[in-house]
Amino acid sequence: MARDQVHYFGAGPALLPSEVIEQAASDFVCYKDNGIGLGEISHRSGDATAVINDAKSKIIKLLEIPDTHEVFFGQGGGSGGFAAVVMNLSAAYAARTHKKGKVDYFVTGSWSSKAANEAKRLGLEVNLVLDPKLVPRGGKKFGAIPPKSTWKFSDPKETAYVYYCDNETVDGVEFQTIPDVPEGVELVADMSSNFLSKQIDVSRFGLIFGGAQKNIGIAGVSLYIIKKSLLTSLPPAELIQLGIPVVPTFLDFQEIVKNNSAYNTVSIFAVRVVELNMDYLLAKGGLKVQEAQSDRKAEKLYEAIDKYPQLFKSPVEKDCRSRMNIVFNIVGDGAEEQFVKQASAKGLTGIKGHRSVGGIRISNCKYKSARPIAKL
């Protein structure tokens, strides 16, 4: 089996480095000469535990994660994280205060909007730190991050956490710096689509999470980095009394950490792909190199978009343009369809905008132009 050089710009699942695919394919068939592959061994076997531990320690090294934080693999993708965050962090706040906290959400695009809706659905009082409806955007729903002076936080003493999406994959909106939040309030970030694309100061976060399928690996696992002090809760009966939803055991962060990410059957193959990706990124020089590369690729694209305003329109304000998902429109009836067709003829695929917003979206995955794979 072989494959040609690929130029695929989908947002995720996204391309993997060819080296990772080759090794993963081999490990799927037979891992370490023990006769069976990684899709077939027990998630509690010695080999599986070693895969989990190695993947974790490489993530810690790559992201320079301090001792104050714990790394674990979860299930349920990014959307599972929306719910897990609400239940686990509300319980952690209640363990500290014996109160049901409010939750603050920055809504800057489709994914943070979904996350805020999930918190409402689970019965939390959700305050929108910035409300996109109040930002005039010429009919567009998203595409701006209003200035700090307009942000409205809840009383810090009553806030379980502040949530934001670092990069809005659909709308092409990215925070250029970590948002400042009131002192003492835990900051939660969804980094599903820009994890590992830049250096981050993990110590500023209570929790960072994301599905693996965009930058970290393949679908089937999600990555969580949590401040250890947040691994706490109250007994279910007390949570119920406070009106806090009780987290299902398989989404309970304490339970997952206690069981080294294998409370229930985790996909060891998916974790191994993460590990291989970490090897690749470490060998390539780490996140400094990734950051410079992502910046350079995004700059080139935005330069072209801005150079031809009669042809291309960017729906995103310059101060919050995503480096990972470059979205734009092309002027003229049927011009976008033509563009997609012509690009495809040149072997450039996966550039159609998200179905909810249309237009063009070029996702700046770090593994563009993965080299051909001669033989598996």
Ligand X SMILES: Cc1ncc(COP(=O)(O)O)c(C=O)c1O
From 49, 79, 232, 260, residue interacting with ligand X (rule: CB under 6 A):
79
> Helix H segments across 122-176?
none
> Could you tell me if 153 and 129 are in contact, meaning their C-beta atoms sit under 8 angstroms apart?
yes
The Cα 103–Cα 301 span in angstroms is 37
Closer Cβ to ligand X, 166 or 252, answer by number = 166
Asked about 300 being catalytic, the answer comes back as no
Give 355's contacts (C-beta < 8 A, 6+ positions apart): none
User: Which part of the chain contacts ligand X (CB under 6 A), choosing from 30-38, 75-83, 92-100, 291-299?
Assistant: 75-83
Question: Which CB, 78 or 172, lies closer to ligand X?
Answer: 78
Q: Of 109 and 234, which CB lies nearer to ligand X in the complex structure?
A: 109
Known active-site residue 131: no
Question: How far is CA 351 from its chain centroid?
Answer: 20
Sign of the torsion angle spanned by Cα atoms 76, 81, 83, 86: positive
User: Which of 39, 77, 146, 359: binder of ligand X (CB under 6 A)?
Assistant: 77
- Residue identified by tokens 């891992």 is 31
CA separation for the pair 202, 254 (Å, rounded) = 19
CB of 181 to ligand X, least distance (A): 19
Q: Give the closest residue to 271 by CA, choosing from 322, 216, 353, 233.
A: 216
Q: Judge whether 151 counts as a catalytic residue.
A: no
Residue 165 binding ligand X, by CB under 6 A: yes
Pairing of strands 222-227, 312-313: unpaired
Which residues are bridge partners to 190 per DSSP? 165, 209
Choose the stretch contacting ligand X; rule: CB under 6 A; options: 77-85, 179-187, 259-267, 338-346: 77-85
Q: Does 111 bind ligand X (CB under 6 A)?
A: yes
Q: Least CB distance from residue 163 to ligand X, whole Å?
A: 11
Place of tokens 């080759």: 22
Candidates 166, 171, 190, 279; catalytic one: 190
Stretch near ligand X under the rule CB under 6 A, chosen from 24-32, 76-84, 130-138, 252-260: 76-84
Q: Which of 159, 193, 254, 329 binds ligand X (CB under 6 A)?
A: 193
CB of 264 to ligand X, least distance (A): 18
Q: Which residue is nearest to ligand X (CB)?
A: 77
Q: Given the rule CB under 6 A, which of 23-31, 134-142, 174-182, 189-197 is the region that contacts ligand X? A: 189-197
**Count of residues in contact with ligand X, rule CB under 6 A:** 11
Site for ligand X in 168-187 (CB under 6 A): 169
Reading the block at residue 20, the tokens are 């990772």
Give the x/- contact pattern for ligand X in 34-73, rule: CB under 6 A. ----------------------------------------
Q: How far is the CB of 203 from ligand X (least distance, A)?
A: 22
Cis peptide upstream of residue 13 (ω within 30 degrees of 0): yes
Task: Indicate the residue among 11 and 94 with the shorter CB distance to ligand X.
Answer: 11
Q: Can you tell me which of 104, 186, 190, 279 binds ligand X, judged by CB under 6 A? A: 190
Active-site position among 58, 100, 104, 111: 111
Among 74, 78, 206, 350, binds ligand X (CB under 6 A): 78
Alpha carbons 185 and 159: distance in angstroms, whole number: 7
Distance CA 89, CA 272 (A): 28
User: Residue 101 has which token pair?
Assistant: 């906290």
Under a CB-based contact definition with an 8 Å cutoff, are residues 17 and 368 in contact? no
Describe the strand order of the beta sheet including 360-363 as a list of residue ranges. Answer: 312-313, 325-330, 360-363
Tokens of 236: 């279910």
How many other CB atoms are there within 10 angstroms of residue 317's CB atom?
14
Task: Please choose, out of 145-153, 190-198, 234-242, 343-351, the segment that lies near ligand X by the rule CB under 6 A.
Answer: 190-198
Task: Point out the catalytic residue in the list 198, 214, 297, 352.
Answer: 214
Can you tell me the distance from the alpha carbon of 101 to that of 97, in angstroms, rounded to the nearest whole number? 9
What amino acid positions are annotated as catalytic residues?
Answer: 111, 190, 214
Summarize as ranges the residues that interact with ligand X (CB under 6 A).
12, 77-79, 111, 165, 169, 190, 192-193, 211
